[in-house]
Amino acid sequence: MTDIQLWTALITPMYEDGSIHFEDLERLLNRQEDAGNGILILGSTGEGLALSDDEKKQVVDFVSERENLSPIMVGVGGFNLQHQTEWIQYCNQKNIDCFLLVNPLYSKPGLKGQIEWFRSLLDASEKPSMIYNIPSRTGVKLFPQVLKELEHHKNLWAVKEASGSIEEFQQFRKTVPSIPLFSGDDGLMPFFSTAGGSGLVSVASNVWPKETRLYVEKCLKGDVVSLFPIWTDAVKALFSASNPIPLKVLMKEKGLIDTSVLRLPLTDKELSDTEHLHASDGAIANWYELNT
């Protein structure tokens, strides 16, 4: 797992009625495995908070029962500690490799509250865990001191930084230099790689798994000349509406999934024009061909 530089925050494909499309899920898992990417299920891109507990268990069971060729990370998100602890305990029994842990939603805890929250989740886990800083979704930033306090916990493996701030990334790097730091922003990977980043947890690799892997490899080698503005424009297109709306729309139009259905309050009706998505798709394909 430590040699995985790219993790794909996988979407959850659905039928027209909103139920989970497990045939499409199998195809998506195969594409990521073929590219050699790690796979994150039930994160925010996977609409994990919009799924019921039973549905999330079905997804974990489905993935756990496969002969997975790539490591599997499971998202842990919410605001009720007992609920999240029970979810971790359920997943501990399954054939998955690690967890993604995030600050509790809405409550905006301070330093001591964050320390105790993450310590409780790490204690419940029997697997390596990545702590996730995403203040745009949780409403609160992860304090660097939380990582300092927990850096020697046996289950703290890595950090995903998605605040959009290079300064905050550098602060985490300075505070806990021994813990691998992953970018949670596709577009900032070239900058984070120069600041000591270890890899990327990606949205873009859903639609471009091999291409994004090459992108990450080039970033980590410092070979970024060919990356701009192609990747900047592509990432901008994928986030032209709330994630994963543009992603699902593009994947549907490319025939990678049957529908672009999302769980409310997200809807593909937010996106009326897909020309920019297809332009970026073509540009990425051309870039990949020129660089392989």
> Residue 39, CB half-sphere, CA atoms under 13 Å: how many?
28
Question: 6-222, superfamily in CATH?
Answer: Aldolase class I (3.20.20.70)
Which pLDDT score, from 0 to 100, does residue 270 have? Answer: 94
Q: Does pTM top 0.75 for this prediction?
A: yes
Q: In which residue are the tokens 């967890």 written? A: 99
Give the chain's radius of gyration (CA, Å). 18
Residues identified as active-site: 132, 160
Burial class (CB in 10 A: 0-12, 13-18, 19+), 259: middle
Helix 209-221 × helix 275-290 angle, to 10° = 60
What ranges make up the beta strands (E) of 79-226?
98-102, 129-133, 156-161, 181-183, 199-202
Give me the tens of pLDDT residue by residue for the chain, a chain 292 residues long: 668 999 999 999 999 999 999 999 999 999 999 999 999 999 999 999 999 999 999 999 999 999 989 999 999 988 999 999 999 999 999 999 999 999 998 889 999 999 999 999 999 999 999 999 988 888 889 999 999 999 999 999 999 998 888 888 899 999 999 999 999 999 999 999 988 899 999 999 999 999 999 999 999 999 887 788 899 999 999 999 999 999 999 999 999 999 999 999 999 999 988 999 999 999 999 999 999 8
Q: What is the pLDDT of residue 1?
A: 60
In the three-class reduction of DSSP (H, G, I as helix; E, B as strand; rest coil), residue 255 is classed as: coil
Nearest-angstrom CA–CA distance, 144 and 171? 7
Q: Where are the domains of the chain?
A: 6-222
Q: According to the model, what pLDDT value does residue 2 have?
A: 63
Give the model's pLDDT for residue 137.
83
